[in-house]
Every structure is written in structure tokens, then in C-alpha cells.
Amino acid sequence: MATPAPFRLYNTLTKQTEPFVPLQEGAVSLYVCGMTVYDHIHIGHGRAMVAFDAFVRYLRHRGWAVRFVRNFTDIDDKIIRRALERGEEPLALAQRYIDAFHEDTDALGLARPDVEPRVSTSMEAILHMTEHLIAKGHAYEADGSVWFSVQSFPEYGKLSRQRVDELRSADEESGKRHPADFALWKACKPGEPTWPSPWGQGRPGWHIECSAMSREQLGAQIDIHGGGLDLVFPHHENEVAQSECASGEPFARYWMHNGLITMASGQKMGKSLGNVFNIREALAVFPAEALRLYLLQNHYRTALPWSETSLTEALSMLARLYEAKEVAGQLAREPGEAQESPAAAAQALGEDAAAALALAEGFEARLYGALDEDFNTAQALALAFELARAVNRLAGHKRAKRRAGPIAALALAAFERFSAALHLLGAAPGEFTEEVKRKRLAPLGLTAEEVEGLLAARAAARAAKDWAESDRLRDLLDARGVAVMDTPAGAEWRVKL
RNA sequence: GGCGAUGUGGCCGAGAGGUCUAAGGCAACGGUCUGCAAAACCGUCUAUCAUCGGUUCGAAUCCGAUCAUCGCCUCCA
């Protein structure tokens, strides 16, 4: 395998974009905080999932051996509460939502992580780390619970730049020595699932799981730890404290945080705010790629606004790219002048062709340049659109069919490079428009058969040059959201965006 | 109260101090195409880069202040 390509990454720990230096040559160990599984995933989760999926795929594309771990939190207050409401076993409820999660992320086209550890099956590692922290004097037991002592770790706060004494104190809980101390192990309460421990029956606290599972799967030190920006404090801060106190060495070298989805009001989308839009609902009426494009169109660290039209806009964008790619493919397949070099073709066709050639040839370097600099997918996308316009212009040339082939072939290769890097735009020609038709028709309350039936009637009217009837049928379809396009080969249709 | 982030055209949004009179997208408008359309394509427009001050030969980019918005400090991707 070729030497992996270097890249730079913004590190929350240092607040700087830094060259990535791996612990092990050619390898990247990545731990991303996953879901607490008590509900379906929404667009906000989708952003984190897609951002890291694209990131991992890109690193692999560039030659890195990535080991990607993402956990499930399947023991937690909210799971227990919801299970209680529904009269279900908490772990059974969690399992249902893990299954739903897999259905949704598979449908979204995400690659599964190498390992997806769960709290309920990582108990040994959690207990082990907790005991170790007590032994080293960083944690203490009180009434069957175990607390981490933030004052035992002078560097506490270094990730989020919080100072322990400046924090707003949360509810006082019994047994804590300092308000900022947090639970590693919670003594059992009636009706909750429990596990045996040296301190009696109980269950793990929230933060310890990620430290324990990360250590178990990837070792004491990892390259990159990822998650949503809203996890920086306290979750990731606490992970740093636990992991570094336990091992005595630095935990994650790079902390990578994705920005949140925000509503028109500017507020974030969040389960607790009740303003979520589920991935499942979105995928029922939009192709997965439209979501992926929407979620990758901004830089991963900035807030991404959500609106009613976000996905239709993404769909428009995607359609434009797919069409340009298809144009490039068609041109590339034209017989044209035999064996002409791209440069000769550009020479013959003039300025637009030369511009297209230059773009196609420089595409890869610019694409990698954008993505290697803190994974700037927004910039990468802009390149694809520039290429699209250049291809369309090229195709508009009078002699394009005869001579643009060699240039179009390079453009097509550039599009394919883009697909390989970001896992976008990879569907076969026509596949995408079919999926759009299928999914967009449903919310209109129409079936393909109905549309085809009306079009057949219209074709008859057109054959008789009955323009009034033809237009009436077209207007009818138009009013219901279907655009009709007459082509030399007959009428085609698509769902209006 | 503490910590942090952001403020670029109608909207979204990228911008490693000079090539930025600012990429790209969406929308709008004009043209090509068409029986007329639609779709598609091509083209066009709108930016004193929040405000004020400073550093610099030179700033959207660095510094300071102000204003505004948002996130975290309780569960949260």
C-alpha cells in the first residue's frame, strides 16, 4: 500500500489546526461517541454519523488503516425511564433502538464501524477501570456509589477550558466531596437493571463507559476522539480525566467535534427541545444521498441550519451533479476523432474546452487539498460544481461530439475520484432519478401507474394535435407536483422539487 | 456568573494578510430549446465581508472594543 497522505485536523484540545501525526505509522485509531438508544435517530445525529463516516472513508481512500470504534449507550437514565413507561425491559428497548439505528444508518449508506461496543457487554472493563481509579486515589466510594474526584486531577478542564470552581453547581447529590465530582458507578435503585460490583449492585455512570470501551478496543492512547460539540463538557472532559488518571498517559491526541444542526431560530435541534426531524421520516421521501449532501455541504465544525427546504435544495444540487456526470460519460463514449490527445482536443475546440481540461486535470489535487485541510467538504463540493459547469459548457460546443471525448473522459475520471473520496455521486446513471421519482411521488399521493396513465392519454391527444387536451392533462399533473417534459423520444416526467 | 463559538450578496456558504472588485450552491431574472411549456443548459444581478478603532506598504483574514446570535456549564450528535 502506498504511504498514507498527510492531512491536517482541527484539534479542540489545542484549538488549532495541526498536522496529523499518528501513534502508529499509517494507522488511525478513532473512537466516536455514539448514541444513547432510546429513540430513533434524527437529522442532528445524522450529521455526526455522516461527518465521521465521510471522514473515515476519505482517510481509507487516502491509504490510512483506520480502526473505527463507535459505541452504543444501552444503559442510561432515559432508557430506563422510557422502558418503565412502556413496561418493557430496558435492555430490550435499547436493543430495539439499536436495530432501528442500524436500519437507518444502513439506509443512509453509512459504513458500519469496525466495532460497536455496548455498555452492557463491557461491564468488566468498566469495573476494572473504576477499581483502578479508586486504587490510584482518583475515585472514592460512598454509599455504594463511586465518584471521580475532579480535584485529584490538576489538569481537569483542559479540554473545555472550564475551571472547576467556576462551574454552576448541579443538584447536590449525597456522598459527593465536590460538586463537580461525577459518578463512575451508581448504587442501585429499585426497579433498575443492576450488575454486581465490589460496591454492591449498581450500574455504570455515563462517562466511564467511553473511557473503558475505548481502552478495551483501541488501547490506552488513541489518535482521534470524536463526537458532537455538545459533548465537550462534561462528557469528554470527564473522559480525559478518567482515562489519563487510569493510564498515567495522554488519552486522545486529537479531539474532533462536529457542529450542531440549528433551526431557523438559531437554536439547535435536540431531543430535549422536541424539535427533531427523524432520519427515518426524511429517508421515506428523500434519497439518502440528498441527506448526505445536505449534511456535508458545510464544514463539519460549523453549525448547519435546518429548514423545510434543506433537502429539496440538496436534491437540486445532486441532480445537477448527476446530470453533468452523465453528460461527461456520454461525451466520453462518443467515437469522435480516433486516439486524439486531450490537449489536441482542447486546442481544436477553444477556450471552454481548455478550461474544462485544466479543471479536470487539476481536480484531484484541489480535491485532496480541500479535504486534507481539516476535512473541508464544502470546498470539495464547490469543486465538483465548477467541474459540472465546465463539462456542460464543453458539451455545448458545436463539435463536442466529435472531439470533446478525451477531455470528457478526464472529467468523468475526476467525478469518479470525487465519488471515491466522499461516497457521493456514486450511483449508476438513471438510478438516482429513479429513486427520486419513487420517493418523491409518495408524499404527492400519486403512483407511477397513475402518472403513466395520464401521460398515455396525453400522448394520444398530442398525436391528434389536440393541444388543448394535451395541455389540460399536463396542467393537471403539474398541479399535483409532476413536471412533464416532452422529448423527441416521447414524454418524460419527474417530480417537481 | 464562568467557558467557548459565530456574524460574508435575497437565502445557504468557502475563504492558509497581497492574485478577494470574495469560490460554490439555492432562489430570482434573461436567453437557448419547445406547438406552447416543463426540465435541462448557458448567462446575469445584488457584498462598504456586523460596527468602531488599531497593527501593517497592504486585512474578510491579525489585535482591541462594542453590538447581535448561538452552544456548553443538567441529558444531548
Question: Which nt is closest to the CA of A496, judged by C1'?
Answer: B39
CA of A477 to C1' of B38 (A): 11
CA of A488 to C1' of B31 (A): 22
The residue whose CA lies nearest the C1' of nucleotide B5 is A302
CA of A482 to C1' of B74 (A): 48
Q: What is the pLDDT of residue A301?
A: 95
CA of A387 to C1' of B23 (A): 13
Rounded to whole angstroms, how far apart are CA atoms A172 and A386?
A: 57
CA of A462 to C1' of B35 (A): 10
Measured from the Cβ of residue A441, the count of other Cβ atoms closer than 10 Å reads: 21
CA of A414 to C1' of B25 (A): 19
Give residue limits of the domains in chain A.
8-136+152-165+207-285, 304-422, 445-495
Query: Please, which positions of strand B sit below 7 A from a protein CB?
Result: 1-6, 12-16, 23-27, 34-43, 69-77
For residue A136, what is the DSSP state? T
Q: Which residues contact A163 (CB under 8 A, 6 or more apart)?
A: A157
Q: Which residues contact A382 (CB under 8 A, 6 or more apart)?
A: none
Q: Which residues contact A395 (CB under 8 A, 6 or more apart)?
A: A327, A331, A404, A408
The residue whose CA lies nearest the C1' of nucleotide B71 is A230
CA of A374 to C1' of B22 (A): 21
Distances (CA, A) of A346 to A263, A322, A341, A357: 47, 24, 9, 7
CA of A371 to C1' of B41 (A): 29
CATH for A304-422 is 1.20.120.640
CA of A55 to C1' of B52 (A): 41
Instruction: Give me the torsion for CA of A172, A176, A182, A185, rounded to 10°.
Output: -120
First to last CA, chain A: 44
Q: What is the pLDDT of residue A169?
A: 66
Alpha-helical regions (H) of A275-350: 279-285, 288-296, 310-333, 342-349
CATH for A8-136+152-165+207-285 is 3.40.50.620
Q: In what order do the strands lie in the sheet with A202-204?
A: A139-142, A145-148, A182-187, A202-204
Q: What is the pLDDT of residue A53?
A: 98
The residue whose CA lies nearest the C1' of nucleotide B25 is A317
CA of A293 to C1' of B36 (A): 36
Distances (CA, A) of A460 to A293, A451, A472: 40, 14, 13
* E-strand stretches of A139-180: 139-142, 145-148
CA of A342 to C1' of B47 (A): 38
Residue A368 dihedral angles phi and psi, to the nearest 5°: -65, -35
The residue whose CA lies nearest the C1' of nucleotide B69 is A266
Question: Which nt is closest to the CA of A306, judged by C1'?
Answer: B12
CA of A478 to C1' of B29 (A): 22
Question: Which nt is closest to the CA of A318, judged by C1'?
Answer: B25
**Of residues A422, A395, A382, the one with CA closest to residue A324:** A395
**Of residues A174, A299, A173, A159, the one with CA closest to residue A233:** A159
Strands A490-495 and A16-19: unpaired
Question: Which nt is closest to the CA of A48, judged by C1'?
Answer: B77
Q: Which residues contact A273 (CB under 8 A, 6 or more apart)?
A: A267
Give the three cell numbers for residue A170. Answer: 448541579
Q: What is the pLDDT of residue A170?
A: 59
Helix axes A431-441, A448-463, angle to 10 degrees: 110
Rounded to whole angstroms, how far apart are CA atoms A23 and A35?
A: 27
Rounded to whole angstroms, how far apart are CA atoms A376 and A435?
A: 28
Question: Which nt is closest to the CA of A370, judged by C1'?
Answer: B14
Rounded to whole angstroms, how far apart are CA atoms A361 and A402?
A: 21
- Secondary structure string (H, E, C) spanning A60-79: HHCCCEEEEEEEEECCCHHH
Question: Which nt is closest to the CA of A179, judged by C1'?
Answer: B73
| Prediction ipTM score | 0.94
Fold agreement (A8-136+152-165+207-285, A304-422): no
Q: What is the pLDDT of residue A189?
A: 86
User: Chunked in runs of 10, what are the mean pLDDT values of chain A (497 residues)?
Assistant: 87 93 97 96 96 98 98 95 94 97 97 98 97 97 94 94 79 78 92 94 96 97 96 96 97 96 82 80 94 96 92 94 95 84 91 93 96 96 97 92 93 97 92 89 86 93 92 90 87 86
Rounded to whole angstroms, how far apart are CA atoms A133 and A242?
A: 8
Residue A491 dihedral angles phi and psi, to the nearest 5°: -80, 135
Question: Which nt is closest to the CA of A267, judged by C1'?
Answer: B70
Q: What is the pLDDT of residue A433?
A: 87
The residue whose CA lies nearest the C1' of nucleotide B14 is A379
Q: What is the pLDDT of residue A1?
A: 52
If 0-12 CB within 10 Å is exposed, 13-18 middle and 19+ buried, where does residue A200 land? Answer: middle
Question: Which nt is closest to the CA of A77, judged by C1'?
Answer: B75
Question: Which nt is closest to the CA of A262, judged by C1'?
Answer: B70
Measured from the Cβ of residue A431, the count of other Cβ atoms closer than 10 Å reads: 12
